[in-house]
Amino acid sequence: MKIESGETLFKLDPCENNPIVSPQGLGLTWHENGELKIGAVFNGGAETFQDKIILMPRCQQGYRKGRFVDEKTGIERSCLENYVSEVRPLISGDGVHFAGLRDIRIRGDGTDHQDFVYGIEDIRIIKTDRKYLLVGCGKIKPAFKGANADRIAVYSTGDFMNITYHGAVESFDSRNAVPFPGPVNGKYYALLRFHPNIHLVHLEAGLDQLLNPSRHIASWEKIYERRSRTVLFKAGEYPHEGEKIGPGAQVIKTDRGWLLIYHAVGEIKEEICKAYGLEEKIERGYSVCAALLDPDDPGRALCRTKNPIYIPSAPFELYGNEQYPVDVPAVVFPTGALVRKGKLLVYAGAGDKYIILLSCRLDDLVNYLWEHCKTAQ
């Protein structure tokens, strides 16, 4: 659609069943002083498995809401206190209605190891030719309690019931790690977020660098030392990316390059908000963005959206209401994407409390990027 500036805006289509997963459906509730409290299920990686769709969201309950000042930005933000999140696999035949996969849990509370004990968050599912990599964020400090709390945590599975922990990358603070599903011209790559930018790094030891991170400490340290040379996208180029950006869902190979769905945080201007039926700009919001990377050299960006392809607009994404309270306002956070019958399905967290489904025809998005969003070469 056209917006007031004359630019062409692309909008992902929200599922009419949104939110498709809510905490009440998973029993994530408790009573406090006689009052029913509702927990959270959000930010789930997604992938196909035996003609089904698997979601792996983080789940949490028993927490309190609070405010804190972000050390990196100086901005006061909403936060949650006193929780340790875990990941629960969910399964669906239609991609909309999900149920728990037995009683499987991935815990980061010290039960299985001591690498991190304050929770496991935001797992991305990467389908390789041999197994599924599950790459998340292990917390070595309580959430929202200072910097240097995030570690890349790596698991793998063949069936989502038997899950193997491979360790954590101890060399630096980073979250939102998204490895590529296989080698590109013989090289293995991963997308990382070193605040506030998106980086593309070369994994010198290939998949083994992820499957045995403790064996490759020198390689991980080299990645950190060279981070000024590996920036793929810088934050701040557009208002909605003013605060930070980060990798979102796993990359998808298309005829025109690697499709990257990523998230951005910043001010969402009024003319974009109006296209979603909102009357005012969003002062600070998370949005969904997209890019195409060169199929043979992913460090070369071919296209990048100048405006978001989805913003918070429904109550459960924006500021909440009586039916749909939210824990953190104005958040849509993409963590899983897959293609079925030519349709792109994007799974995202909403309001740090729910899971939503967004979709479009894959060709429509790729063509939009190619026609309207090419980067200067």
Q: How many domains does the chain have?
A: 1
> Looking at the domain assignment, is residue 42 inside a domain?
yes
* pLDDT for res 318: 98
CATH assignment of the domain containing 314: 2.115.10.20
377 residues of the chain, pLDDT tens digit each:
999 889 999 999 999 999 999 999 999 999 998 999 999 999 999 999 999 999 999 999 998 887 777 776 777 777 778 889 999 999 999 999 999 998 899 999 999 999 999 999 999 999 998 899 999 999 999 877 667 899 999 999 999 999 999 999 999 999 999 999 999 999 999 999 999 999 999 999 999 999 999 999 999 999 999 999 999 999 999 999 999 999 999 999 999 999 999 999 999 999 999 999 999 999 999 999 999 999 999 999 999 999 999 999 999 999 999 999 999 999 999 999 999 999 999 999 999 999 999 999 999 999 999 999 999 65
pLDDT of residue 311: 98
pLDDT of residue 54: 98
224-231: long-range contacts, CB 8 A cutoff, minimum separation 24: 224/171, 224/172, 224/194, 227/194, 227/199, 230/199, 230/200, 230/201, 231/197, 231/198, 231/199
Question: Range of 227's domain?
Answer: 13-372
In a domain, 8, yes or no: no
Q: For the beta carbon of residue 113, count every other beta carbon within 10 angstroms.
A: 14
The answer to whether residue 7 sits within a structural domain is: no
How far apart CA 38 and CA 324 sit, in angstroms, is 10
Residue 18 belongs to a domain: yes
Alpha helix (H) ranges present in the chain? Answer: 208-211, 217-225, 270-275, 362-372
Q: Is residue 6 part of a domain?
A: no
* φ and ψ at residue 214, rounded to 5 degrees: -70, -20
Question: Is residue 207, in this structure, part of any structural domain at all?
Answer: yes
Tokens matching residue 216: 């490759």
* DSSP character at residue 362: H
Residue 98: inside a domain = yes
Q: What is the pLDDT of residue 377?
A: 57
Assigned domain for 29 exists? yes
> What is the model's pLDDT at position 335?
98
Cβ 345 vs Cβ 20: under 8 Å: no
CB neighbours of 372 closer than 8 A, spacing ≥ 6?
7, 8, 10
